[in-house]
Every structure is written in structure tokens, then in C-alpha cells.
């Protein structure tokens, strides 16, 4: 791994899922009785650009509310991470939120952004390296639900390793998956590591539904882009005008679900495979679980973390949690 001359930005560690992995997951998802597609594939280059536009929508309260919390409590959050930290960000996206943390941190030693959306990751970190020329940055393109190793950073001296997982992306997992993800993150970061996690909260249904089905149709374009991606990369034959976006509240599981609803009986090809759709049948493309503070603390404890602090906005729309990885007790 070599460094670029102008900055301390390391070359990308590229573990992007292969086309074959994408194909297998799409075929598996479309073969189920409730058809599904994994939400991680919503983020190709175009999907990431559309997501950035979602973040600016008036209806999409999570981004601006989390930014407000991070701005207001940046000093406390930075203090919980400590000086000379090596910071791993899961699902780093446009890298807007990390700027607030990096500015508040005491001599951050290294930043390791992990994201599945390769081109977006490269562009975001080229920008970040220009803003923080003394910071060692080592981007990793990977699916963070699969095991991966953190890149070695020659010359970067750090005291501790910490995690940052904003955007309520943890809500995309089922509860069991979220426990599994945090347990794996705990093993990756090590005993005593602090993990800062943004978690969206249960709230009025009108506010929730509008956030996932905006008037301008940007979220609809984000959802439908997955079909466009399948057409382009996997020789699919989806006609986008034969599907529509829908956001639903699943009261039992306290989650918003995004679906693509088939507008007619139709057959669609993905390469050599064919899939039948009845009119009204849906593909479930994303879940966004909403939490209560106690419920999330319980989940974190199950994954081996002790909650140390939580910050919220005045309206209790969103929460940012600092969790500490419990010391592993060795059996005597």
C-alpha cells in the first residue's frame, strides 16, 4: 500500500463485493415468496448521489437532527473517544459528519472509513484529505457485514481505536443482525474501544412516513435505482415504469419498510433467470428499525457494549450513543 504524495491518504483497500456475489444475492432474494433485495446494493455511484440529495430534503429529519446533536455535543463526544484515536467509520458515505468529530478530537491519529460504495468513498476521502492534510486516512471498500481486517498504517501512532456508525444505518439490520454486527465490530475494535452510534427513535407516523416518501420523489428514485442497477450490471429487464416506490410502517417490528410494488402481472429477466410478479406483489428493499433509548441500550449490552452516554435533540427525534466494549473475561 503506497501513500499519495500530496497527503497522508493511503490507497484504497478494495474488497468490493464481486458481480457474482451481487448476482447470487439478487437471485436468492427474488426467489423468496416475499421477494427481497439487500439494501446494501442501493448504493452504487448513482444511488449514493441520490442518497446525498435525500439528506437535504425537508422531510428527511435524521441527517439534520444528527448533525445538530453532533455539533452541539462535539466536545463531549470527542472527550469520550480520547486523544490520538484511530477512528473506524462504518458506512462513511459523503463523510460530512466525520468532519465535525475530526475538528473536535484531540490530535486524531488516523481515520479508516469503510463503505461498500467504491467511487463515492474515493471521492469523499480525496476531499477530506484536502481538509485534513495531517491526518492519516486509509479507506476500505468492503461489505461491513462480512469479516475484514483493518489496514496497517505505517507511521500512524495511536493510543486507542474507536468506532463511528452514524446515519441510523444500524436500523437497516434486524435486531438480531444488529447484535451480530455490533459484536463483530467489538472484536474488530478491541476491548475498551468506544463506539459512537446514531440511532433513530420511534416517533409520529406522519413524520416517519414522509421521511421515506418525500413529495419530490427523491426516495422513490433512490429505491427504483436498484432495478436500474440490476438491468445494467446483471442484464436485467426491469421496466421501471411498471413498479412504484412505497414506504410502510410495520407496527409489530417498529420499522419503516421500503418496497417496490409491481403495477401489473409481469415477468422479468435477470440474466438467464426469469421471475414472475403478480400485480400488487412487492420487493422489500430496505428496513429502517426505530428504537427507544432503553431498547437500544439492551441491544448494545447483548452485543458486549456498556452504554456510557446518550445525546438527543429537544424533540427526541434522534439519538447518538457512546458505548464502551466490555472487557472480555477470561475463564479461570
Ligand X SMILES: C[S@@+](CC[C@H](N)C(=O)[O-])C[C@H]1O[C@@H](n2cnc3c(N)ncnc32)[C@H](O)[C@@H]1O
**Could you please report the per-residue DSSP string of 156-168?**
---SEEEEEE-TT
Q: If we measure between CA atoms, which residue out of 129, 114, 137, 123 comes closest to residue 94?
A: 123
Minimum distance of ligand X from residue 260's CB (angstroms): 18
Measured in degrees and rounded to the nearest 5, phi and psi for residue 14 equal -100, 100
144 is an interface residue for ligand X by CB under 6 A: yes
All cell numbers assigned to 7: 497527503
> For ligand X, which residue of 10, 16, 44, 115 counts as binding (CB under 6 A)?
115
**Could you please report the per-residue DSSP string of 197-228?**
EEEEB---HHHHHHHTS-TT-HHHHHHHHHHH
CA dist list (Å): 131 to 96, 158, 275: 12, 20, 48
Minimum distance of ligand X from residue 143's CB (angstroms): 4
Closer to ligand X by Cβ: residue 66 or 275:
66
CA distance 14 to 296: 32
Measured in degrees and rounded to the nearest 5, phi and psi for residue 153 equal -120, 100
CA distance 288 to 233: 26
167 is an interface residue for ligand X by CB under 6 A: yes
Measured in degrees and rounded to the nearest 5, phi and psi for residue 191 equal -55, 135
145 is an interface residue for ligand X by CB under 6 A: yes
117 is an interface residue for ligand X by CB under 6 A: yes
40 is an interface residue for ligand X by CB under 6 A: yes
257 is an interface residue for ligand X by CB under 6 A: no
CA distance 193 to 187: 10
259 is an interface residue for ligand X by CB under 6 A: no
Of 143-151, 152-160, 231-239, 242-250, the segment contacting ligand X by CB under 6 A is 143-151
Minimum distance of ligand X from residue 66's CB (angstroms): 7
Minimum distance of ligand X from residue 138's CB (angstroms): 15
Place of cell 490520538: 84
Of 108-116, 188-196, 216-224, 231-239, the segment contacting ligand X by CB under 6 A is 108-116
Closer to ligand X by Cβ: residue 221 or 268:
221
CB count within 10 Å of CB 134 equals 8
Residues touching ligand X, count (CB under 6 A): 20
305 is an interface residue for ligand X by CB under 6 A: no
Minimum distance of ligand X from residue 233's CB (angstroms): 16
Contact criterion met (CB below 8 Å) for 291 and 174: no
41 is an interface residue for ligand X by CB under 6 A: no
Of 137-145, 199-207, 254-262, 277-285, the segment contacting ligand X by CB under 6 A is 137-145
Closer to ligand X by Cβ: residue 116 or 300:
116
> For ligand X, which residue of 35, 46, 86, 97 counts as binding (CB under 6 A)?
97
What is the CA angle 262-266-269, rounded to 5?
105
Minimum distance of ligand X from residue 330's CB (angstroms): 31
Give me the residues that bind ligand X (CB under 6 A), please: 40, 43, 48, 51, 55, 63, 91-93, 97, 114-117, 143-145, 166-167, 169
Amino acid at each position: 500500500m503506497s501513500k499519495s504524495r500530496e497527503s497522508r491518504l493511503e490507497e484504497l483497500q478494495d474488497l468490493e463485493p464481486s458481480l457474482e456475489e451481487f448476482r447470487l444475492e439478487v437471485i436468492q432474494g427474488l426467489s423468496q415468496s416475499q421477494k427481497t433485495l439487500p439494501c446494501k446494493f442501493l448504493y452504487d455511484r448513482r444511488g449514493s448521489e441520490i442518497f446525498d440529495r435525500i439528506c437535504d430534503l425537508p422531510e428527511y429529519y435524521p441527517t439534520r437532527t444528527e448533525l445538530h446533536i453532533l455539533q452541539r455535543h462535539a466536545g463531549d463526544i470527542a472527550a469520550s473517544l480520547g486523544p490520538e484515536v484511530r477512528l473506524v467509520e462504518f458506512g462513511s458515505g459523503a463523510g460530512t459528519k466525520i468532519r465535525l468529530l475530526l475538528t473536535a478530537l484531540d490530535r486524531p491519529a488516523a481515520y479508516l472509513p469503510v463503505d461498500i460504495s467504491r467511487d463515492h468513498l474515493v471521492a469523499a476521502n480525496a476531499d477530506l484529505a484536502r481538509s485534513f492534510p495531517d491526518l492519516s486516512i486509509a479507506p476500505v471498500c468492503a461489505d461491513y457485514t462480512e469479516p475484514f481486517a483493518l489496514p496497517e498504517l505505517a507511521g500512524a501512532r495511536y493510543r486507542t481505536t474507536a468506532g463511528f456508525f452514524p446515519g441510523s444505518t444500524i436500523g437497516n439490520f434486524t435486531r438480531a443482525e444488529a447484535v451480530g454486527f455490533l459484536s463483530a465490530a467489538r472484536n474488530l475494535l478491541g476491548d475498551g474501544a468506544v463506539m459512537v452510534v446514531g440511532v433513530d427513535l420511534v416517533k409520529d407516523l406522519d413524520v416517519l412516513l414522509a421521511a421515506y416518501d418525500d413529495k419530490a420523489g427523491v426516495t422513490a428514485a433512490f429505491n427504483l435505482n436498484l432495478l436500474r442497477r440490476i438491468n445494467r450490471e446483471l442484464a436485467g429487464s426491469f421496466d421501471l415504469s411498471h413498479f412504484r416506490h412505497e414506504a410502510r410502517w410495520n407496527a409489530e417490528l417498529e420499522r419503516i419498510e421500503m418496497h417496490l410494488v409491481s403495477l401489473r402481472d409481469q415477468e422479468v429477466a435477470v440474466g438467464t433467470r426469469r421471475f414472475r410478479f403478480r400485480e400488487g406483489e412487492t420487493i422489500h428493499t430496505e428496513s429502517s428499525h426505530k428504537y427507544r433509548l432503553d431498547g437500544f441500550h439492551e441491544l448494545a449490552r447483548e452485543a458486549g457494549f456498556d452504554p456510557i452516554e446518550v445525546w438527543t435533540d429537544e424533540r427526541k427525534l434522534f439519538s447518538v450513543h457512546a458505548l464502551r466494549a466490555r472487557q472480555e473475561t477470561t475463564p479461570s
